[in-house]
Structures are given as structure tokens and as C-alpha cells.
Chains A and B, each alone.
Chain A
Amino acid sequence: MKNKLKVLRAMRDWSQAELASRLDVSRQAVNAIETGKHDPSLPLAFRIARLFEMPIEEIFDDAES
């Protein structure tokens, strides 16, 4: 699943570790999501959306929408 996590994180000048801390996951989990190797769960997707104050579908693209 494609996502804009890396771009959104860069816009706020956050490191992967900082974003991971805000989302209560490991830095590796953030890295895996950014590189498309791991799809976040629905609760984590909501946490990400709340953190960036954006709708989920604007952050994640399942290529079917």
C-alpha cells in the first residue's frame, strides 16, 4: 500500500524515531510502513491520521480508490 508518511514526516522535520515515539511503535515499524513493506493496522492508521490531522485516505492509497 502506497502512503505519504515519509513526505508528511519530512514536512514536520521529524525523524523516524520521533514519529515512532509519537505513534507508540518502533522506529523499524515506521520504516517498514514508509517503504511499503508493512501495512499498518486500522487503529494505527487512525493514530497516524489524527497525528497529521488528515483523513486516512489522503495518507494511504490502496491503489483501488
Chain B
Amino acid sequence: MLVDPKRSFGPFLGLDLMFIVLALLTVAMLFDTSAASAESAASASRPLFAGLLSIAGVMILSIAAVWLSKIDQRMNDEFTYKAVALGAVVAVTVTLLFYLVFELLPMVEWGMGSLHTDRLIAVLLGSWAMGYAIFRIRGTAA
């Protein structure tokens, strides 16, 4: 029997479970990536082409994301969806702050290692799970 996902949100959502798994995965990732050394960054052999392609990628993906935000407008009244969306805002903010802290402070000298891509992804996913959990418990009302 098909279940309408809009109406099937029980007290313990599948989404909750997903974010709990994500949080656990993030903890493992943060330990693992903290122990790993930073990957060596390969420079582009054709910088101009790589730059133009990156700009095009950002533009196309941004337009696609804006188009996909129609879903956001339709689901705006769903409490759980709003918790996911607000959690994503928390994730972006925390990741940027994390990046800034590692850029501005001598974290490597303090034994914290460098902030390479995998570690940054772990921070992003972890803060998303944390943000979702907080909004889920506290509510999304201003």
C-alpha cells in the first residue's frame, strides 16, 4: 500500500533516523579525517579554462537550485521539512565559521591538523544533523 509521505510522519520519523545515522557517521568521519593528512592540491593545467568552467558550474547549479526551491515553497508548511531547511542554513554558517577559524588561527601549530575537504564535508554534515535536531526539539517558530 502506498503511503502519502505528507501524512505518514509519525512521532519518530524516518528523517530523524536518517539524521541520527548522519550524526554518527559524522563523528566517525571527524575522527578519521582529523587523523588523515591533507591531500595535496593539484593545480589546473589550464587555469583559464578551469576558471570559466567553475563559473559556468556555479551559475548552472545555482539556477537549478533556485528552480528546485519550488519544492521548498510547496513544503513550507511542513514542520519537518522546515527543520531540514533551517538545519541546512545552520550547516552552511557553521562550516564557513569553521573554515574561517582554521584560516585565521594557527590550528596546525596547535595540533589540530589542517582543514581538508573530507574534514570540511564532515563538519557540514555534522552541523546539518545538529541543526536539524535542535529545530526538531525546539521548534521552527521565531
Q: Using a CB–CB distance below 8 Å, which chain A residues touch chain B? A: 1, 17, 20-21, 24-29, 31-33, 35-41, 43-44
Contacts and interface: CB of A to CB of B under 8 A. Distances in A.
Contact of B142 (A27, A35, A39, A40): A39
Contacts of B138: 37
Contacts of B76: 41
A28 B79 contact: yes
A31 B80 CA distance: 11
Nearest to A37: B139
Nearest to A30: B79
B52 interface: no
A38 B6 contact: no
Interface in B48-95: 76-80, 82
Contacts of A31: 79
B77 A25 contact: yes
B2 interface: no
Interface residues of B, number: 16
B7 A27 contact: yes
Given A17-B7, A28-B79, A38-B139, 9 more contacts: A31-B79, A37-B138, A37-B140, A37-B141, A38-B79, A38-B82, A38-B140, A38-B141, A41-B77
B2 to A, nearest CB: 16
In terms of DSSP, what is the predominant structure of the interface of chain B? loop
Interface of B: 6-9, 13, 76-80, 82, 138-142
A20 B7 contact: yes
A21, A25, A35, most chain B CB atoms within 10 A: A25
Given A37-B79, A41-B76, A41-B77, A26 B9 contact: yes
Contacts of B140: 32, 37-39
Contacts of A25: 6, 77-78
